Amino acid sequence: MVKFKGYEFIDGGVCAAAGFKAAGVIAGIKAGNTTKRDLAMIYCSERCNTAALFTSNKVKGAPILVCKEHLKDGKAQAVIVNSGNANTCNPDGVEIAEKMCGLCAESLAIDVNDVLIGSTGVIGQRLDIDVIKPKVPELAKILSEKGSSDACEAIMTTDTRKKEIAVEFELDGKKCHLGGISKGSGMINPNMCTMLAFITTDVSISSEMLDKALRKVNSVTYNMVSVDGDTSTNDTLILMASGLAKNKEITSQDKNYEIFENALFAVMMNLARETARDGEGATKLIECIVNGAPNEKTAKVVAKSVISSSLVKAALFAADANWGRILCAIGYADADFDIEKVSVELASAKGKLTVCTDGAGISFSEEAAKDVLSEEEIRIVVDLHSGEDSAIAWGCDLTFDYVKINAEYRT
Containing H/E element for 152?
helix 148-154
Give me the helix-helix angle, 255-277 and 207-219, nearest 10°.
40
Cα distances (angstroms) measured from residue 292 to each of 168, 193, 302:
34, 26, 11
Q: Determine contact, residues 91/46, Cβ cutoff 8 Å.
A: no
DSSP state of 332: T
N-term to C-term CA, the chain: 34
Q: Determine contact, residues 196/81, Cβ cutoff 8 Å.
A: yes
Contact partners, residue 388, CB within 8 Å, separation at least 6: 292, 293
CA torsion 247-67-395-282 (nearest 10°) is: 110
Q: Name the catalytic one among 194, 221, 233, 236.
A: 194
Q: Is 275 a catalytic residue?
A: no
**Distance separating alpha carbons of residues 192 and 222, to the nearest angstrom:** 7
**Distance separating alpha carbons of residues 30 and 121, to the nearest angstrom:** 9
From the CB of residue 65, how many other CB atoms can be counted at a distance below 10 Å? 16
Q: Determine contact, residues 61/81, Cβ cutoff 8 Å.
A: no
Active-site residue numbers?
194
